[in-house]
Structure 1
Amino acid sequence: MTTDTPIEDKTTSLGRAQDELANLIETLIHLGVQVHDFTGTNEAKAGLANNINKVIGQLQEISTSHDLKEYSIPMEVLNYVEDGRNPDVYTREFVEVVRKVNQFLNGKAVGFGRFRDVLGDKIIQEFPELTDSVHDIKTRTS
């Protein structure tokens, strides 16, 4: 099984959780193949029951694992996965929105900085006695 994301170090909690989830996915794939090719024989029934029990055990192991307790998964990501969508797409879209917002806010900050400088220069022109105060404000807000 290949993934687009690198496998975390298995000594970390996230790496162990990723490994457990990868094993669960592999078992689910095998279960899907078994269901698709189900012949109804006793061996097929036993194999199917074995894989179902394996999935249940893996789900119980993941749900009781302390490795994932320290990570919170946003509800939007869970809804994305429930709808059969790729969470990597959610991440990509989220990063794009954050990038756009950061660019917008950076533009506002630059604009306010320029406004501060122009306003400070005009104040100094009109009220030279405030020069020290204006320079102090400019240095504290740069």
Structure 2
Amino acid sequence: MDSTAPNFSSAAAVAAAAAAASGNGLQGGAGGDRPEDPSKQNLAQVTGSIQKTLGLLHQLNLNVSSFSSASQLPLLQRLNALVAELDTMQKLADGCNIQVPMEVVNLIDDGKNPDEFTRDVFNSCIAKNQITKGKTDAFKCVGHVKGNQHGCV
């Protein structure tokens, strides 16, 4: 497994990061919600742009599925709005400096949930932690036996 995390600044990578990110980058406070820092605010803007793009794509799907000559102008307007939103998303994505592990990008490309990657990494860490704990407990036992202390179980 390649542990390098390439540095992406494309809209697709930002979309992957937004899909994999938990929360919206906002924290509660007495003065209401406020962004934690500019990079999280930028990520929130990109996430909003992605959601707006998905909404436009849904509207386009509806327009195309019920297309008639009378609906040509609204279809063109929605296409122009989609192009403008994609341009906005690209500009916002250029301001994001997010590292997404290739495994996450590959999972998304395969149509899988990026949470699977997080769960697998978490389970791997737990297993390694248990192995390390077993080794340290064994060394403690060796120390107790050498010191004629029989507190080892």
Where on the TM-score scale, by shorter chain, does this alignment land: which range?
0.5 to 0.7
- Residues 70-93 of structure 1 deviation map (CA, whole Å, 9 limit, x = unaligned): x32111111111222221232122
- When normalised by structure 2's length, the TM-score is 0.62
1:121 positional shift: 2.2
- Give the equivalent residue in structure 2 for 1:78: 105
- Superposition pairs for residues 43-82 of structure 1, below 5 Å? 43-65=73-95, 68-69=96-97, 71-82=98-109
Note the residue ranges of structure 2 that are not aligned, 5 or more in a row.
Answer: 1-18, 27-34, 149-153
The answer (yes or no) to whether the contact 2:60–2:79 under 8 Å persists in 1 is: no
User: CA RMSD, aligned part only?
Assistant: 2.5
Which structure is higher in RCO with an 8 Å CA cutoff and minimum separation 6? 2
- CA–CA separation in structure 2 for the residues paired with 1:31 and 1:99: 41
Larger Rg computed on CA atoms: 1
Structure 1 moving runs of 4+ over 3 Å:
none
Please state if 1:18 is matched with 2:48: no
Q: Provide the residue aligned with 2:25 in structure 1.
A: 8
Matched residues, number: 116
**Quick one: which amino acid aligns to residue 42 of structure 1?**
Q
Task: Look up the match of 2:54.
Answer: 28
Instruction: State, as a whole percentage, how many aligned pairs show the same letter.
Output: 21
1:102 corresponds, among 129, 136, 139, to: 129
Which structure dedicates a bigger proportion of its chain to strand?
A: 2
Give the whole-Å Cα distance in 2 for the aligned partners of 1:83 and 1:58.
Answer: 27
Tell me the alpha carbon deviations over residues 101-129 of structure 1, each in whole angstroms, 9 at most, x when there is no partner: 111211112112212332x326xxxxxxx
* Structure 1 unaligned residues grouped into runs of 5+: 123-142
Q: State the SS of the aligned residue for 2:50.
A: helix
How far the C-alpha of 1:55 sits from its partner, in A, is 3.6
